Amino acid sequence: MSNKRNNPAVDETCARIESVLGESDAYRKVEDGLYVIKQGSAYVMVNVLPWGEDRAVVRCAAQVLVGVDRSLDLAWDLLKLNSMMRFGSFAFVPDGNRIYFIHAILGGETLDAEEIVATVAQVALVADEYDDKIAAVYGGRRMQDLLEEQALS
């Protein structure tokens, strides 16, 4: 669904993202306002969302693990990790027992190329760094593992 008539900041943000990331072999446009970028073992979903009628938000999320053993210890460990992150945070989604690393930035006219690249890179680096560490303690499978299993089947 296009936001062309609804929110010019969304359109401007999408154009900027496509311009900045579009030359990379790791970049794919899924649909208007939704992109995926592969870096290391992480896949970062970049979603441009309207914020009111004249602003936009860029939400970057990397699935760290799926099928994690849910526990109070896991919740505490994710909260401790969140307190140490420069930006972004870990989130647990009960559907599929998934862990994500997520960060959002403002879109629109103030969004610049360096901010887009830095945000996507940092989200991917954190997901890539912590997927093995968290899986070693709580189980689960990395996004890379899931995709390789699907490709082989």
Write the pLDDT tens digit of every residue in 28-79: 999 999 999 998 878 999 999 999 989 999 999 999 999 999 999 999 999 9
Task: Find out whether 94 and 70 touch, Cβ atoms under 8 Å.
Answer: yes
DSSP code string of 78-99: HHHHHHH-SS-EEEEETTTTEE
95-119 pLDDT, tens digit per residue, is 999 999 999 999 999 999 999 999 9
Phi, psi of 32 (to 5 degrees): -55, 125
